[in-house]
Structure 1
Amino acid sequence: MTVRNMDVFNSMEAWAPKWLAYDWDNVGLQIGSYQTSVNKVMVTLDVLESTVDEAIANNVNLIIAHHPLLFKPLKQLDTDSPKGRVIRKLIAWDISVYAAHTNLDMANGGVNDMLCDRIGIYHRDILSVNYTEKMIKMVVFVPESHADEVREAMSEQGAGHIGDYSHCTFQSAGQGTFKPLEGTDPYIGSQDTLAFVDEVKMETIIPQYKLSSVVDAMMAAHPYEEAAYDLYPVENSGPSYGLGRIGVMDESMSLNELSDRIKKTLNISRVRVTGDLSATVKRIAVLGGSGEKYLHEAKKAGADVYITGDMTLHPAQDAQEMGLSMIDPGHYAEKVMKDDTKAYLDKEFSKDVLNVIVSQANTDPFQIV
């Protein structure tokens, strides 16, 4: 079996769809081709020259990064500049780069859930909901002979998913009528003759963003020249996605004990903390990366502590004034995505066809002295 970049990208986007990313973000393919064959992937937080050298040394074909290599448009490609050297090496060694950034932050099981898993935060909700799927009800009329084929085609494209169940439809039998007019080529019946056909009325639910692909799949599987179907907007809401998580720990502890737990579980040497270190805490908000502008959401959600990176002076003072403790483990805490992304891809692809490794390069620019 040959695996292409596109296969890996599709797998990543089944987990963290690109449409979840903010419009200012740049996710997906950064350098390379969708069609290139790949047998070794390296997962990294950042694409720096050190990680590219590591990829070259390990014969890697594809780098999957959290932070995009190409974030702002390039006005020139100076191969003597740091970024230019990186791009030159990637092209010279035919290494593709793919980024999953804010889409992986928002995805269920993404970076913020990874951090919660490490710290031990349960019964989680989204801290700041960014998107809730709109749902469409689809009703299609199909001859009994093709009901199974049409149902399968729609389900494969995402129709009929309710919670942990797939292929959810309701079917009722009936009789359809139609008269093929001049110029038609009917699958059943004859021109200018009213046809009576035993049909199935099939109803299912579809996330709006998948509607086009489901309709296309239905039309391809349906035997009729003109398939009859109806689409209805419904009040049902699909899953919600957003930044950050808020939940509770398995036991209460002091702010100081929580700080120590974070250092141990995230394998970092220090954290910055505001608040009374002896205070008891249990309800915790988490947002990986730079999340200081969401501290009001954390307070409104009833958090005792807000864990996020890149805190600056005045927002930290604001949090202190409103009685919200803060723990800043640094932006580099997002490194948890490396092991969990490898674990995900190892489940998606056999190790016989795709070898996934984790970058060992330290791309954190800060040192504690």
Structure 2
Amino acid sequence: MTPARPVTVADAVAALEAAYPPALAQDWDAVGLTVGDPAAPVRRVLIAVDPLPEVVEEAISDEADLLVTHHPLLLRGVHAVATTAPKGSAIHRLIRGGVALFTAHTNADAADPGVSDALADALGVTVERPLAPEGDGTVGVGRIGTLSTPESLRRFTERVADALPATAWGVRSAGDPEKTIRRVALSGGAGDSMLHLARAAGVDVYVTADLRHHPATDHLAEPGAPALVDVAHWASEHPWCAQAAAVLRRAAPHLEITVSTTRTDAWTVGQPSGAVNA
């Protein structure tokens, strides 16, 4: 980017797509510039996980020119963008507010570095390789790495809870609380489709989000299966926002970039459950 002219939406998109190549996105995904004029100038940027209404309002309130999110606004086909529907209303609000919207989703999941590298950094895990490598093996979803000092599953669970933003879902683990954890597999976002890869990797624990009952219990029944740490989907991907901010700062140091702290996790109340024995 040349300092002689204002940074444009196209400039910001080019920097982000160099870091998160669209070719890495899954064929069902919808990534890239969703709303906005590539020629429009950019001075302020807001980065968030979800383009939900409260984040759109935050971008407008902050006078941002560009909103960068991990999750797409229009992942599935739509037939109308009337303001009577939430997504249509968001598009109208963005356009009226002069805010462009850019998304890096599964391409950011697979990039090197990407979503899972940001999660690994937050947890103090030194990355060795992808959990599900693609192409030359340096890109792919998930990561495998190590802790500098082994610790119990109980302490590792506390580490995860301390490192990620608080949610009603919280952090929970499955396995012997005193099991020694050194080798770690992790994947930001929903990752129970890769439980078999975590087992094959010979790690001590697998950290991901949205674990379901049957895949989790079937996994734990396997001999030598790694322990599990389950976190909220939004929390597991929030560290990526700071990574994306760093990408833009390197490309255009004078941009004003803010990472949203608006909690867009779906769950709002958490309460331990209990039952009286019959």
Q: So what's the TM-score if we normalise by structure 1?
A: 0.69
- The residue aligned with 1:277 is 177
Q: Where does residue 108 of structure 1 map in the other structure? A: 112
What is the 5 A alignment of 1:71-220? 71-132=75-136
- Which structure dedicates a bigger proportion of its chain to strand? 1
Answer whether contact 2:143 2:186 (CA < 8 A) is retained.
yes
Q: In 2, Cα distance between the equivalents of 1:47 and 1:16?
A: 18
Question: Does the 8 Å contact 2:130/2:142 carry over to 1?
Answer: yes
**Hey, what's the Cα distance between the residues in 1 that align with 2:21 and 2:174?**
35
- Aligned residues between the structures: 261
Equivalent residue for 1:356, pick from 253, 257, 268: 257
AA aligned to 2:101 is: V
Code of the residue aligned with 2:266 in structure 1: it is P
Letter of the 1:303 partner, please give it. V
SS of 2:177's equivalent?
coil
Q: For each residue in 1:142-199, what CA deviation from the matched residue of structure 2 results, as whole angstroms up to 9, or x when unmatched?
A: xxxxxxxxxxxxxxxxxxxxxxxxxxxxxxxxxxxxxxxxxxxxxxxxxxxxxxxxxx
Q: 1:37 aligns with which of 25, 41, 54?
A: 41
Q: Where do 5+ consecutive residues of structure 2 fail to align? A: 272-278
TM-align CA RMSD: 1.3
* Paired residue secondary structure (2:218): helix
**Contact preservation (8 Å) 1:319, 1:326:** no
TM-aligned CA deviation for residue 92 of structure 1: 1.3
1:118 Cα shift?
A: 1.1
Structure-2 separation of matches of 1:298 and 1:79: 44
Percent of paired sites with the same residue:
35
Please tell me whether residue 244 in structure 1 is matched to residue 142 in structure 2. Answer: yes
In structure 2, the residue matched to 1:336 is 239
Runs (4+) of structure 1 moved beyond 6 Å?
A: none
Please report how far the alpha carbon of residue 123 of structure 1 lies from its aligned counterpart in structure 2 after TM superposition: 4.5
State the partner residue of 1:206. none
What is aligned with 1:310?
A: 210
**Superposition TM-score, scaled by structure 2 size:** 0.90
Alpha-carbon distance change, 123 to 365 in structure 1, aligned in 2, over 3 angstroms: closer
Aligned position for 2:276: none
**In terms of Rg, which structure is larger?**
1
2:156 partner amino acid: L
Does the 8 Å contact 2:134/2:140 carry over to 1?
A: yes
1:297 aligns with 2:200: no
Q: CA–CA distance in 2 between the matches of 1:324 and 1:127?
A: 14
Distance in 2, Cα, partners of 1:65 & 1:356:
13
Instruction: Give, as a single letter, the amino acid of the residue that structure 2 aligns with 1:285.
Output: A
Given that residues 268 and 329 in structure 1 are in contact (C-alpha distance below 8 angstroms), is that contact kept between their aligned partners in structure 2? no
By how many angstroms is 1:360 displaced?
Answer: 2.7
